[in-house]
Amino acid sequence: MKNSLNLDNYWMPFTANQLFKENPRLLVESSGMYYTSHDDRNILDGVAGLWCCNVGHCHPTVVSAIREQVGKLDYSTIFNMAHPKIFELAEKVSSLTPEGLDRIFFGNSGSEAVETAMKVVLGYHALRGEPNRTKFIGREKGYHGVNFGGTSVGGIPLNKDLFGSLFSDVDLIPHTWNPAYMAFSKGVPSWGGHLADILEEKLLLHDPSTVAAVIIEPVTGSGGVIVPPEGYLKKIRDICDKYNILLIFDEVITGFGRLGHSFAAERFQVRPDIITMAKGLTSGVIPMSAVAFRNDIHQEFMSASPDSIELFHGYTYSGHPVASAAALAVLEVYEEEDLFNRALSLETLFEDTLHSLKGINDSVLDIRNIGLMGAIHFNDNKGPANATSMKVFQECYDQGLLLRSSADYLVISPALIVQEEQILKIGETLKSVINKL
C-alpha cells in the first residue's frame, strides 16, 4: 500500500494519523450494505458510513438523480438567485418536520447547521428587543460539530481543549448516563427523568433572561448513544417554555429515520423550536444540511422592510442544485421503500442482538440502544477501555464488519435497508471478537 500511494500529504480529521498510516484502511467501492476495501474484501457497513447513508450505498434512484442534475444545472448561486429544486426540497423537508417548524435554511454540514441556528437565535432575540439573551446552554457529551459555535456548546472536552475560550457565553448541563442506575437499559431508561431539573437550577444561576437557547441532541450520538430517560425531554421543553428560552434539537444523527420516525421530536412527542439536520438528508451522498425554524422566528426577520436583506448569513454552496437533487431523491426513497417504518420494525431485533452481548465478557460495561442506533461501552477490566474499543473495531474490520470506535465505546448504526441476517451477522462478529478479549 505505502509503495503505491503516497499517504504523507493528507491530514486526516479525527484520526490518529500516524497509526492509521502504518496500517491504512481504504474503501474503494460501495453498494447497498457493503463496502469493498482496498485489499478486495467485502465489508458490511454497520455504521451507515458515519450515521448517514440511510438508504444504503449507491442507491440507483439517488445515483441517477445526481447524474441527471449535474449534467443539467451543475451550480447556481443561491444569493439573490435560485433554482426550482431548492424550493421543492424546502417544502418536502417542511412536510417532515413538526407542525409549525416550516421555514428551512440550507447549509452543507451539520456544523454549519448548528452555526446557522445559533446565529439566528441571537438575531431573533435582538430583533425582539432582548439583545441581552446571548447565552447558550449545551450538555456534557454533546457533539454539535466543529465550528466555533458548535465546539463551544459541545460537551466533549477533547474537542475543546486546544482552542482557547471559544464562544464564552456557554454553560453545560450534565449528561444523563449513569451506569449504576441504567446499565443495559433497553431503549429509554426509566431512571433519570429528574436530571432535567438541573437545567432550571443552571438557568437561575445565570439569570434566565440572559439565556438565548438550550441546544441538545435528543439522543446523544457521537458521545455514545445516550438515550434520554423517560420524561426528560418533556421536562426540558417545559423549563425552556417557563423562561421563554428557545430549544434547539440537534437532529443531525437522529433525523430521517434513525429512530423510526422523521425526527426524534416525533418519536418523543416533544416539539423543539429549531431542528438542525444533515447526514440522512442526502444519505451522505452529497454534503448538505438544513435548519428548520419555528415559523414565527422566521417571521421576526421578515418584518424588515421589503427591499432589505433579512439575514446576513449563508454559504456559497447553500442549496446546491446537485445536493438538492440528491436530497429529493433520498426523500423519495424513504417514502417509496417505507424506510422509517422499516427501521421501527427492525428495532427489537437490533436491540435483542446488541443486548445478547451482555455478560459474555466482563469488559462490557453497558449496552445502549434506540431505533437503529446503539453503543457498546467498555470498561477497564481488560486494559484501557479506549484501547479495547479500538481493538474490537480493528478485529471486526479484519472480519469484514465496519463499526465506529470512539473513546471507550463502539457505535453501531446500520442503514435503514439493513436485512435481518445482517443485523445477526453484526451480533455474531461482535460476539466472537469480544469473547476473545
Ligand X SMILES: Cc1ncc(COP(=O)(O)O)c(C=O)c1O
Chain residues that interact with ligand X, rule: CB under 6 A: 109-111, 114, 143-145, 217, 221-222, 250, 252-253, 278
Nearer to ligand X, 414 or 427 (CB): 414
176, 199 contact by CB (below 8 A): no
Look-up: residue for cell 416539539?
A: 271
CA 76 to mean position of chain CA atoms = 28
**CA 230 – CA 268 distance, rounded (Å):** 9
179: nearest Cα among 357, 350, 375: 375
Rounded to 5, what percent of the chain is helix, strand, coil? 40, 15, 45
272, 233 contact by CB (below 8 A): no
246, 295 contact by CB (below 8 A): no
Angle at 221 (CA atoms; ends 87, 219), nearest 5 degrees: 80
Residue facing ligand X at closest CB distance:
110
Least Cβ distance, residue 4 to ligand X (angstroms): 30
Compute the radius of gyration of the chain from its Cα atoms: 22
Nearer to ligand X, 215 or 297 (CB): 215
Least Cβ distance, residue 435 to ligand X (angstroms): 30
Nearer to ligand X, 110 or 260 (CB): 110
Least Cβ distance, residue 317 to ligand X (angstroms): 13
CA distances from 153 to 106, 169, 254, 335 (A): 21, 9, 18, 34
**CA 168 – CA 206 distance, rounded (Å):** 13
Least Cβ distance, residue 249 to ligand X (angstroms): 9
150: nearest Cα among 215, 101, 237: 215
Nearer to ligand X, 222 or 405 (CB): 222
Nearer to ligand X, 145 or 208 (CB): 145
282, 334 contact by CB (below 8 A): no
Least Cβ distance, residue 274 to ligand X (angstroms): 13
Residues sharing a CB contact under 8 Å with residue 385, sequence separation 6 or more, in sequence order: 363, 365, 377, 378, 379, 407, 408
Least Cβ distance, residue 177 to ligand X (angstroms): 16
Nearer to ligand X, 94 or 109 (CB): 109
Nearer to ligand X, 54 or 363 (CB): 54
323, 282 contact by CB (below 8 A): yes
Nearer to ligand X, 114 or 199 (CB): 114
Nearer to ligand X, 353 or 405 (CB): 405
Least Cβ distance, residue 315 to ligand X (angstroms): 12
**CA 355 – CA 271 distance, rounded (Å):** 30
Least Cβ distance, residue 423 to ligand X (angstroms): 22
Least Cβ distance, residue 221 to ligand X (angstroms): 5
